[in-house]
Amino acid sequence: MKIYNTLTREKSEFKPLQPGKVSMYVCGMTVYDYCHLGHGRVFVAFDVIVRYLQAKGYEVNYIRNITDIDDKIIRRAQEANEDWQQLVQRFTDAMDEDFAALGIGKPNLEPKATEHIDQIIAMVQTLIDKGMAYAADNGDVYYVVEKFAGYGQLSGKVLDELRSGARVEVDEAKQNPLDFVLWKAAKPGEPAWDSPWGKGRPGWHIECSAMSTCCLGNTFDIHGGGPDLKFPHHENEIAQSEAATGEKYANVWMHAGALRINDEKMSKSLGNFFTIRDVLADFPAEVVRYFLLASHYRSPINYSLESLKEAGASLERFYHSLRGLTLPQAPESEFSSRFYAAMDDDFNTPEALAVLFDMVREINRNKAAQPDQAAQIAAEMKALGDVLGLLQQDPEAFFQQQTSDVDPQQVENLIAQRNAARKQRDFAKADEIRDQLQAMSVVLEDSREGTKWRVEK
């Protein structure tokens, strides 16, 4: 299995530190607002990576943190006149709901920054003792960037270029404009914890270094996150972690691609984002998940209603092929070999989905003449779909998904009336009912087994 490593800028054979085990840390949410679809893109990607590693037989220790203290949290709580801890809990609950809806599994551990203050303080003190950090006159503690020889290795940034573009803000007490904060002195009315440097709270970067090493040890297999974290967050994590421990921090660095709106990055700062729950109000969760997996995890995705509709149409093809089949225990064939080969190549989900489409064609070709053969392929396809978190619904339930204005019982009643009219050869009445259902976006499919229906988005 080969994985693209952002640090080395190449794909290489994945060799975990311990055979059969994978230690993995992914930077999680700062919980001050609802998650947008760009977040969904990142965490669906890593959810599939975890699922696939487990399908390969690895025991995965997956850590995904929560940043529950931060300038944005404090500011949002002040604006809303809400206790910051209540705000954090409210948006943590919303995150859990959104992730569950998208089929994103829970990590093994979900550490919070405020639960690791002692470890954060200890790491900051270690950096001070090693001469890699200093306490400034204003109560902040800063990391000395120029003392870390490898700074810039992840992002490709060059210190001279960073230095020429940096500036010291008026109220900062940095010795060098490149230095970044490890511990922030508390302002009046802000949440704060005691430390050797006075009351304050951790800087953002040090939180992840302390939580990851606390949960996984000084060196672990995979560190992941969104595209915007490469610099400065992950660069700073490497610098402070390796300076503190004297050991390599993470062996493989993985970054998901950005979600774009009209070719601009989706972000709260640009105001061009859709929350996960906004999108799920208009599209079924599995359609959204499919849309996010139809591109390689490292590639940018351009958000559009057309793309989501195409994702829905693709899923319809899969579920159509599963209709009316009783599935045996899933066998493995050359389809499974091709699927695993695609995923072994840096988790290539578009190629893996192409294998599933080939299976759909085989199912449909065999359905009438060799139904047992079709059922075997369908069972294998469903098992492979599970690795991606797809195709696990009952086909009829999938087709009967509705926005909110289609009542399944009303549809069934109208179908019963139509069937009765057809029996009485009242075809005008039957056609009238079909037109009524079409006006409700309900599509009927008549067969010898009866009439099935689906909502056409």
| pLDDT one-digit tens code per residue, 57-70 | 999 999 999 999 99
In angstroms, the CA 252 to CA 72 distance is: 30
Q: Report which of residues 408 and 292 the model is more confident about.
A: 292
Tell me, rounded to whole angstroms, the distance of Cα 176 from its chain centroid: 36
* One domain for residues 130 and 225: yes
pLDDT band at 457 (very low <50, low <70, confident <90, very high): low
Q: Give the phi and the psi of residue 69 in degrees, each rounded to 5.
A: -145, 130
Any known ligand binding at 234? no
pLDDT band at 170 (very low <50, low <70, confident <90, very high): very low
Residue that terminates a domain, selected from 382, 398, 414? 398
Q: What confidence score (pLDDT) does residue 167 get?
A: 58
Any known ligand binding at 268? yes
Any known ligand binding at 39? no
Q: What confidence score (pLDDT) does residue 403 get?
A: 45
In angstroms, the CA 351 to CA 438 distance is: 35
* One domain for residues 382 and 436: no
Q: Report which of residues 266 and 68 the model is more confident about.
A: 68
Residue that terminates a domain, selected from 212, 231, 256? 256
Residue 32: is its pLDDT beyond 90? yes
Range in 8-12, 163-167, 424-428 with the lowest mean pLDDT: 163-167
* Amino acid letter for position 92: T
CATH of the domain at 374: 1.20.120.640
Range in 21-25, 194-198, 216-220, 421-425 with the lowest mean pLDDT: 421-425
Q: Range of 437's domain?
A: 400-455
Residue 111: is its pLDDT beyond 60? yes
pTM reported for the whole predicted model: 0.88
Q: Where are the alpha helices (DSSP H) in 104-203?
A: 117-129, 159-165
Any known ligand binding at 27? yes
* Amino acid letter for position 264: E
* One domain for residues 404 and 274: no
* One domain for residues 248 and 268: no
* One domain for residues 374 and 431: no
In angstroms, the CA 305 to CA 285 distance is: 14
* One domain for residues 232 and 278: no
133-135, strands of its sheet edge to edge = 133-135, 141-143, 180-185, 200-202
* One domain for residues 375 and 406: no
* One domain for residues 301 and 425: no
Q: What confidence score (pLDDT) does residue 166 get?
A: 65
Any known ligand binding at 233? yes
Residue that terminates a domain, selected from 206, 222, 256? 256
One-character DSSP codes across 214-239:
HHH-SSEEEEEE-GGGIIIIIHHHHH
| Domain count for the chain | 3
- Beta strands 450-455 and 21-26 are unpaired
* One domain for residues 414 and 394: no
Residue 99: is its pLDDT beyond 80? yes
* One domain for residues 47 and 194: yes
Give 190-239 pLDDT, tens digit per residue: 999 999 999 999 999 999 999 999 999 999 999 999 999 999 999 999 99
Q: Any idea what DSSP says for residue 394?
A: -
What are 195's two structure tokens? 């430390």
Query: Cβ(50)–Cβ(25) under 8 Å?
Result: no
* One domain for residues 121 and 232: yes
CATH of the domain at 35: 3.40.50.620
* One domain for residues 321 and 440: no
